[in-house]
Amino acid sequence: MIDKTPLSIPRHIGIIMDGNGRWAASHNLPRVAGHKEGAVAVDRIVTACRERGIRVLTLYAFSLQNWVRPAPEIKALMSLLGIYLKSERRTILDNDIRLTAIGDLDSLPNSPRKALLDLMDESASNTGMTLCLALSYGGREEIVAAARALAVRVAADNLDPAAIDIDLFSESLQSRNLGPLDLLIRTSGELRISNFLLWSSAYCELYFSDKMWPDFHSSDLDEALASFSSRNRRFGGIGK
């Protein structure tokens, strides 16, 4: 018998796209080739999420901690970002996708930063799906920045500390417009959160895939969605 139970679709998915380097090593290729193939996977998973009605997709493309990588790898990743933004411009605009970004965008090299800001501007009124790139991003740093901004308001006598609650704190985060994370996917078999969306992942469902990111296909996304749909989310309550 066909199961006709409607799938519950997560509103916001975050993906830690891990395993590009190991994918490259397993194909006897340089690490950068893994990142190139990773960008191809980004393209297909963005389209697949759009087709499946996901409202927000946040991709962990470069962490604040990734700056310690060898300079040539960083250069290649930044150049890939620029190439991706150029080649995906039409896909993003034609599919009604709004591009946004979180992280220390000022630290990005000029050329990809400009391409990013331009496409964010151009796509700002799109409503089909929000694609957020986490670039030079760290979850703890995001929380510290929000705490600092609130402390400044308190020090200036503009805010009563008693008024600081979960809602006000959420509104002070750079990722405030993305909403809570519902499903966090990490590829490559690693079981870590690695400083990604720490605040908004408070009640997210976790899904770990053994596939390296370049091997992650829409069928793998569907497995993650099926798993999400089978979860009983209780948010501290006793559930259905």
- Does position 19 bind ligand FPP by CB under 6 A? yes
Element at 18 (helix H, strand E): none
Minimum distance from residue 228 beta carbon to ligand FPP (Å): 22
Give the residue, chosen from 13, 32, 39, 221, that forms a contact with ligand FPP under the rule CB under 6 A: 39
Give the residue, chosen from 13, 17, 49, 108, that forms a contact with ligand FPP under the rule CB under 6 A: 17
- Give me the DSSP letters along 46-107: HHHHHHTT-SEEEEEEEEGGGGGS-HHHHHHHHHHHHHHHHHTHHHHHHTTEEEEEES-GGG
**3-state DSSP call for residue 15?**
strand
Which among 1-9, 54-62, 116-124, 227-235 is the span making contact with ligand FPP, rule CB under 6 A? 54-62
Binding map of ligand FPP across residues 159-198, x = CB under 6 A, - = no contact: -----------------------------x----------
Which among 32-40, 118-126, 175-183, 203-211 is the span making contact with ligand FPP, rule CB under 6 A? 32-40
- Does position 49 bind ligand FPP by CB under 6 A? no
d(CA 57, CA 59): 6
Identify whether the C-beta of residue 58 lies closer than 8 Å to the C-beta of residue 197: yes
Tell me the torsion sign for CA atoms 154, 157, 161, 165: negative
Rule CB under 6 A: which of 197-216 touch ligand FPP?
213
Rule CB under 6 A: which of 116-135 touch ligand FPP?
133
Give the residue, chosen from 15, 33, 58, 84, that forms a contact with ligand FPP under the rule CB under 6 A: 84
Q: Residue 176: exposed, middle, or buried by beta-carbon count in 10 A (0-12, 13-18, 19+)?
A: middle
Binding map of ligand FPP across residues 92-121, x = CB under 6 A, - = no contact: ------------------------------
18 among known catalytic residues: yes
Residue 7 is given by DSSP the state P
- Does position 35 bind ligand FPP by CB under 6 A? yes
d(CA 121, CA 93): 11
Identify whether the C-beta of residue 96 lies closer than 8 Å to the C-beta of residue 64: no
What are the residues binding ligand FPP (CB under 6 A)? 17-22, 35, 38-39, 42, 59, 61-62, 66, 77, 80-81, 84, 133, 188, 213
